[in-house]
Structure 1
Amino acid sequence: MSARKKELTRMFVWRSFKEAGAIIENSHFVYVSGRHGSVYIDHHAIYTVLKAVSQMCRFMAEDIYDLSLGCEIEVVLGPEGGGIILSRFLKEHLDRFGGKRISLWAKKQYGDNGLRKFVLPRAFIKHISGKKVFLIDDILTSGSTFYELTELANRYGANVVGLGCLWNRGGVTSGDLGGIPLFSLFEKRFEDFDKSECPFCESGIPINNEFGHGRNLR
């Protein structure tokens, strides 16, 4: 992707998230990591503008083919939720370059201890076994979802050949994810703090309990 096209893509992603109301600022949030910050990305909101989401997946498909990876992909897999929509859109845009792929999603299961794991619906297993897989998600923070999905795909003999996200907000690199090629349409981190050093806590600003981990603190 040329520098000009990359910048246009970044502008489009930022504008789309803003217009969807997905960027919530000037509040006091607790993230899943336990750290605190003033900005929260509500990934659910971006799916209210599906035309923009499809366009972002088109940009990703073009980027994938620019690096000659597209022909290798046989399956596009996303996590339950927004990943179902993303995997479908990306599959459709990749198919326009030639070939036919299949889009699948992994279901989230939670144990009695509250820990999450991904599983494949039984009907999907035959479609992923031994295949070359591309993983896609909306927001990339720590890479844990990609790590878990990669393990799941490998369990069925599949080979993960690429990873893609709309927004990389954790500064995650390909090296952090085992060297698998990573396609991030937009990268931006927001300052966060350990609870013991949080300026919002010190100022007595209440935690937002509508978004982020704050919902669990009600």
Structure 2
Amino acid sequence: MVTFEVAGLADLIRVREGHFRFESGHHGTLWLDLDSLFVRPSVVAPFARQLAEQISEYSVDVVCGPWSGGAFLAQMIAEQLDLAFAYSQPAEDHLGTDQLYARPYSIPTAFGAHLAGKRVAVVDDVINAASAATATMAALSAVKARIVVVASLMTLGQVGRQRITELGHVVETLQSRDHTIWPSNECPLCASRVPLES
């Protein structure tokens, strides 16, 4: 396994190379360690400010992010833009499956009642396959919110960006990085019997 830093976010994100299964069910070769990204909010703040500037062009009412990293970033951006905040939470019983985009998210009741008709920016820390972002979009649609933009600190590859674009939404990001992911039945690492890492 090789560990290296992502240019531009070098102090924030550690990257591992190997064979990984993502929340979306896809397999890929890069794993971003995002658990410690928000331990020191002041370090993330300059990036959040940049993303907030991009989001401000969309006349947003609410900033919503998937739990946990997306929610922390969404709250920072909502505070900077003096907007309302909401978050989505994943179902716990859909982990570890190769079925694509199987894990649903929901909006907590306390937030859902205030989202109908509101213009919402969906924010995630990093978008790879866009599983959390698109599940959040579905949860927001269920409470009659209007999604106007999807944003992240970084996008990996084209799968997630393309999925969001096909759903009719714009993606704003600070940085993009090449990354290829595959459905498990097309994964060359699985075909070569490379074990999945945890």
Q: Deviations over 1:114-146 (max 9, x none)?
A: 752211221112211221111000111112222
Which structure has the highest helix share of the two?
1
Paired residue for 1:47? 38
Give the total of aligned pairs.
182
Indicate the SS of the match to 2:7: helix
How do 1:69-148 and structure 2 match up within 5 A? 69=58, 72-95=59-82, 101-111=83-93, 115-148=102-135
Distance change in 2, residues 1:199/1:146 (3 Å): closer
Contact 1:147/1:177, CA 8 A, preserved across alignment:
no
Contact 1:22/1:44, CA 8 A, preserved across alignment:
no
Paired residue for 1:14? 7
Deviation at 1:58, TM superposition (A): 0.4
Which structure has the highest strand share of the two?
2
Indicate the SS of the match to 1:60: helix
Q: CA RMSD in A?
A: 2.9
Deviation at 1:149, TM superposition (A): 1.4
Q: Deviations over 1:17-76 (max 9, x none)?
A: x32352234xx2223245342x321122322342232211100111233xx31xx21111
Paired residue for 2:3? none
> Quick check: 140-149 or 128-137, which moved more?
140-149
Structure 2, unaligned runs of 5 or more = 1-5
Paired residue for 1:56? 47
**Residue type at the aligned position of 1:151:** A
Contact 2:12/2:44, CA 8 A, preserved across alignment:
no
Indicate the SS of the match to 1:154: helix
Structure 1, unaligned runs of 5 or more = 1-12, 96-100, 208-212
Find out whether 1:179 has 2:161 as its counterpart.
no
State which structure, 1 or 2, has the greater radius of gyration over its C-alpha atoms. Answer: 1
Runs of 4+ aligned residues of structure 1 deviating over 4 Å after TM superposition are: 112-115, 191-196, 199-202
Indicate the SS of the match to 2:104: strand
Indicate the SS of the match to 1:47: coil
How many Å separate the matches in 1 of 2:187 and 2:71? 38
Contact 1:141/1:169, CA 8 A, preserved across alignment:
yes
Q: Deviations over 1:148-194 (max 9, x none)?
A: 21221111211001110111003224763422121011100135677
How many Å separate the matches in 2 of 1:89 and 1:130? 23
Indicate the SS of the match to 1:57: helix
Task: State the percentage of identical aligned residues.
Answer: 19
Q: Deviations over 1:67-109 (max 9, x none)?
A: x31xx211111111112211111112223xxxxx211111222
Give TM-score, length-normalised by structure 2. 0.77
Paired residue for 2:189? 198
Give TM-score, length-normalised by structure 1. 0.71
Distance change in 2, residues 1:35/1:107 (3 Å): closer
